[in-house]
Structure 1
Amino acid sequence: MVSKLKSANASAAGQITSRSPRQIAWRRFRRNKVGMVSAGISIVVLMLSLFAPVVCKILGINPDELNLDLIDSSGIPTLPNGGISWEHPLGLTPGIGRDLLANLLYGSRISFLVAFLTTGLAIFIGLIVGIVGGYFRGRIDDYLGRFTDFLLAFPAFFMIVALSEPMVARIQETGIAQGNGARVIFLIFFLSFFGWPGFSRLVRSQVLSLRERDFVTAAQAMGASRKRIIFKELMPNLWAPVIVVVSLSLPGYLAAEAVFSFLGIGIQPPATTWGILLDNARRFVTVYPNFFLITAGSLVLVVLAFNLVGDALRDALDPRSER
């Protein structure tokens, strides 16, 4: 009897396994059905964008092919439903008759490029500034804090609109890039320049709390250098807010690129982005609403999916979450 009880206790103890914070967060995230579906949509969209040439080749569509014979004198496709068929799954763009699906796929590549590079640069700057200010405090924190306040006081949108043309011209004069390449550099630089202050505030508050924890005090008592404390003790404990901010910043910068391209201060034709497609759809919205609805719906779907993933990650990484 005693041996049976011991074996039962041993088997029960063997079934109890410890979970790391990462495993707990993943378990919470899997329980969020909306977050899982949104993550699946986001991954599919990213893969379609990344492999746009392969997808277009498989479907037999070409973003540069003009189907002028299928467009009437007013620029509207003559085929039913805007040309939606097996040959053109989402129809044709008015005016020049290009395949809409191919243009959406190729246009998303530039939009995602701007969004990812801007997010990475803004997160990197905000992380460094927040850690330095929160850890060293004193005058360094005061100077960085006042500079952050100064940037937050600027109307970023109007600054980008006002400086777009002179800054793009200056980039072209230096020979760094020409045409749309200069406009991409301008958008990435200015969006990230005005995007990091908010994140640095979040990082600073986290570092101010972490630097008072026992593991940091123990590292200091053992003679660990500041470099080791920052990179080995503080940064590994900041990955949760970084992941959440990244997931929420990507859709914001994706929509921002579309807005600036729509206003004519971002990427310009003949390149294609979702903002340019929306601008073209605006001119035909009354006579050909399919074009506008499909383009705007695609942008809304992608931005919404990324936002829902960010919300799900925030709930999963929150230790006080009930999910």
Structure 2
Amino acid sequence: MSSTGIQLTKGTQEVIRRGKLAELWRRFKKDKFAVIGGVILLVVILCAIFAPLITHYDPNETQLEQRLLPPGTEGHFLGTDEVGRDMFTRLVYGARVSVMIGFVAVAIALFFGILVGLFAGYYGGWIDTILMRCIDVLMAFPYVLLAISIIAALGPGLLQAMVAISIVGIPYYARIVRGTVLSLRNKEFIEAEKALGASNMRIIFKHILPNTMAPIIVAATLDVGWMIIAAAGLSFLGLGAQPPTAEWGVMLSEGRKFLRVAPYVSLLPGVCIFLVVLSLNLLGDGLRDALDPRLKQ
């Protein structure tokens, strides 16, 4: 059933869906910066996936006789770090870890945030009160302080950092989804479904959830960049990924000791973080404008 309460055949629904996707793509590709952001992100993801095919070096193999070779050196065009590891190799393998943390952390936060927002917004009453007071407790702490506190309880490590920033991100999505559900639950097509005897679970997941996806997609796209920065920051402080793991935050932390003699050791992972976060922000802005052109106007 459509949002107008009119029953449509599957074929008609498929035609409408394809038409909407075509219109979405037409609006999206008009934003050149969003397209550039998407291309940068795609290149980074492909490099991370095919890292063993791009470089033949081991990201953790040390060669002390080749330590701190400058960029442009034959065989190491981005140079080597303080223990002779190839910088390009570590950046490529580091993309695997950093980008994976961002997307997985957002996926976890998105899953629990959507569930909390859906049930709180749809049922209201004491369910809404209990769930949203729990969200308020999480939001009462500064994000970074809460993440550090969680890691202090769990112990430092890559998995622990991922869990910490995921928990920190749950309130963000829960409030977005709850607000959208509150505006949808009394719409005519929802009342029509109730009149037809549809269960609450069917209404929530088949009719309300799809109508909340536009703001969720935009929020998630923008939030991946924040998650990558947060994970890199925790690794920089020694609370996330641990040496010798090839991760951009770890590389920043290790390179700060050599800023005077070899600034590229810290500069290169910093540039990678900047480019990925910038590409995600550009992509998120483009999706926002494509999904709701009224925002741009």
**Length-normalised TM-score, structure 1:** 0.82
- State the match for 2:289 in structure 1: 315
Moved more, 313-322 or 95-104: 313-322
- State the match for 1:191 in structure 2: 165
- State the match for 2:43 in structure 1: 44
- State the match for 2:215 in structure 1: 241
CA deviation after TM superposition for structure 1 residue 43, in Å? 0.6
Contact 1:35 1:308 in 2 (8 A): yes
SS at structure 2 position matched to 1:154: coil
1:65 aligns with 2:66: no
Q: Pick from 118, 125, 130 the counterpart of residue 117 of structure 2.
A: 130
CA deviation after TM superposition for structure 1 residue 86, in Å? 4.8
Q: Within 2, Cα distance between the matches of 1:142 and 1:154?
A: 19
Alignment of 1:1-323 (within 5 A): 20-57=19-56, 61-71=57-67, 76-77=68-69, 82-93=70-81, 95-168=82-155, 183-321=157-295
CA deviation after TM superposition for structure 1 residue 166, in Å? 4.2
Q: Within 1, Cα distance between the matches of 2:254 and 2:296?
A: 46
Contact 1:133 1:141 in 2 (8 A): yes
SS at structure 1 position matched to 2:62: coil
Q: Deviations over 1:112-158 (max 9, x none)?
A: 22212111010011101101011111111111121111110023322
Q: Within 2, Cα distance between the matches of 1:252 and 1:129?
A: 21
> For residue 21 of structure 1, what is the amino acid of its counterpart?
K
Q: Within 1, Cα distance between the matches of 2:237 and 2:60?
A: 23
> For residue 59 of structure 2, what is the amino acid of its counterpart?
P
How many pairs are equivalent? Answer: 282
Distance change in 2, residues 1:236/1:159 (3 Å): closer
Distance change in 2, residues 1:209/1:165 (3 Å): closer
- State the match for 2:11 in structure 1: none
Moved more, 273-282 or 158-167: 158-167
Contact 2:236 2:249 in 1 (8 A): yes
Q: CA RMSD in A?
A: 1.9
Structure 1, unmatched stretches of 5+, are 1-16, 169-181
Q: Within 2, Cα distance between the matches of 1:163 and 1:150?
A: 14
Q: Within 1, Cα distance between the matches of 2:149 and 2:201?
A: 41
> For residue 221 of structure 2, what is the amino acid of its counterpart?
S
Distance change in 2, residues 1:157/1:123 (3 Å): same
> For residue 275 of structure 1, what is the amino acid of its counterpart?
G
Contact 1:84 1:92 in 2 (8 A): no
Distance change in 2, residues 1:159/1:202 (3 Å): closer
CA deviation after TM superposition for structure 1 residue 110, in Å? 1.6
> For residue 37 of structure 2, what is the amino acid of its counterpart?
S
Rg comparison, structure with higher value: 1
> For residue 78 of structure 2, what is the amino acid of its counterpart?
L
Contact 2:49 2:96 in 1 (8 A): yes
Contact 2:249 2:269 in 1 (8 A): no
> Quick one: percent identity of the two aligned structures?
38
Q: Within 2, Cα distance between the matches of 1:159 and 1:209?
A: 31
SS at structure 2 position matched to 1:125: helix
CA deviation after TM superposition for structure 1 residue 319, in Å? 4.1
Contact 2:147 2:168 in 1 (8 A): no
SS at structure 1 position matched to 2:157: helix
- State the match for 1:178 in structure 2: none
> For residue 297 of structure 1, what is the amino acid of its counterpart?
V
Q: Within 2, Cα distance between the matches of 1:317 and 1:200?
A: 20
**Length-normalised TM-score, structure 2:** 0.89
SS at structure 2 position matched to 1:195: helix
Distance change in 2, residues 1:210/1:22 (3 Å): farther
